[in-house]
Amino acid sequence: MTDAFSVAQLQDIQGFGIAGFKKDHQQLMFFRFGDPASGRRFLGWLEAQTASAWEVGSFNQLFSEIKARTDGEEPICATWIGVLISAMGYQALGVGTTSLPAGEGTNAFTAGMANRSQQTGDTGPLDVPSGWLPPFRPGTGVHLCIAIAADRQDDLDEATAKVGDQAAACGCDLVLQELGETLPQPLTGHEHFGFKDGMSQPAVDGYDDPPQPNEPPAVAPGEFVLGYPCASGNPVAQAGSLWFNGSFAVFRRLNQDVAAFRAQSNAGVPASNPNLSPDQTAAIMMGRWPSGAPLELNPTSDPGTPGDTPNAFQYQAAPFSDNDGHTCPHFAHIRKANPRDETTPNPATDSPLLHRMIRRGIPFGPRLPPSALDDGQQRGLHFLSIVSDLDRQFEFVQRQWINDPNFPGGQPNPNPGPYGPPQTGTPDGPDPIAAEADTGTECTLIQPAGPHQFPVAKQLVKVTAGEYFFVPAISALAAIANGAAG
């Protein structure tokens, strides 16, 4: 038993969220229900196939122990299934959402991602939802996402065929299917730009191991699972029985322009002093070196391995004291997406802990060889994250941190949003990796010799599909299959 969750609760919570599938192969299958009866039949079958947090967490721990004892061998394997339902899916099932906790996060869920483009920044020519893959465009929509993950490709293929056959038998239509896979060596565990991924996952208080010194503090379990204490300290929000032990999930299909990233890195920063190599330029955009080692601990070169504590650093606290961004630029992706002890828009009432997300993404598409030019193939990341409030967590981070050129320090923002007053100081520029910014956007690199403008020639990541889902408890899947209507 953990401090935050009992065994019975972990056996009810899906393993896709706080435990994490952590497999090399993952298939995403998106469906539409033929009618409420077909959807309920399908969920009734899926309920028995869905992996719990208890079994996934237990397996992950055992897997790690055996792998360490056998010097890297992987003697056990498993296949997991996760079930995610959109607001449109709940509506198609005849299930109401009125017993969800009231607030802007629930409003985001019921509206759907395509209708929240003003809140997320999906308004530019590269990201506007009308140009997304057809099932995700406004006026269409998907009802259900099934995530199937396996250690072995053969097992994944077998499970995928089984799910597809059952969906067809129940009268549900498959509208999109796409494979995600860990990249081959030497990029195993990395994303397509070549950087180690998943280095700063939040520790769930009472579930994960306690953070080490200088790591971000553990985050309250209610930030990721409905019905538990949250980081704000406010009373636990009440949720109906179909929502308790569940989580919201963000899905975004992100195309990565690897050729443009390499060109941007090779171009360097004009007039920088000292001059930056392509590897250093790539590192300042990301905030880490390809190995995962953070700039904040390794300012001049990549040590080659991230070390035992790649996440044990801050930006403001001594001995780091990097307020000016001399070591890790303010615009660096990891500093924008997770500012740690950085000043937030209103430090008196806000905290970075209120905006953390558990990420469950995986790359898709073939690797672009190091010396190759753009081959025209799509590659990128199936971005998946787990939260309890879509607006306060995902949308806030995208809008107030990643897209905002004035965070963490910058000129007054004319549209500061509901979270506090604008910042003042030198504009930093948006996140050059993940921001949805106009072509030609400039960032500011601050060096001891002075500031230098860093023009970002091209948007490097393009959103091509997205939706908000809910990851219901396994008991809730059974209840819906048996006719529960909310």
* Positive or negative: CA dihedral 412, 417, 418, 419: negative
* pLDDT for 439: 66
Instruction: Give the Cα separation of 457 and 455 in Å (integer).
Output: 6
* pLDDT for 72: 66
Type of residue numbered 408:
P
Instruction: Give the Cα separation of 200 and 394 in Å (integer).
Output: 16
Instruction: Give the Cα separation of 316 and 323 in Å (integer).
Output: 6
Question: What is the distance of C-alpha 277 from the center of its chain?
Answer: 30
Binning pLDDT at 50, 70 and 90, where does residue 391 land?
A: very high
pLDDT surpasses 70 at 15:
yes
pLDDT surpasses 90 at 298:
yes
- Find all residues with CB under 8 Å of 184, minimum gap 6, and list them: 367
pLDDT tens, residue by residue, 184-199 = 999 999 999 999 998 8
pLDDT tens, residue by residue, 46-89 = 999 999 999 999 999 998 888 878 876 667 899 999 999 999 99
Report the percentage of the chain scoring pLDDT > 90.
Answer: 72
Tokens of 263: 């060109």
Cis peptide before 319 (omega within 30 of 0): yes
Angle 13-19-21 (CA atoms, 0-180°, nearest 5)?
A: 110
Of 21-35, 95-109, 422-436, the range with the lowest mean pLDDT is 422-436
The answer to whether 332 touches 315, Cβ cutoff 8 Å, is no
* pLDDT for 308: 66
Q: Give the up-direction half-sphere exposure of residue 404: CA atoms within 13 A in the CB hemisphere.
A: 29
Mean pLDDT score across all residues of the chain = 91
- Residue whose token pair is 């963000």: 250
CB atoms within 10 A of CB 238: 13
Report the percentage of the chain scoring pLDDT > 70.
Answer: 93
Binning pLDDT at 50, 70 and 90, where does residue 259 land?
A: very high
* pLDDT for 148: 98
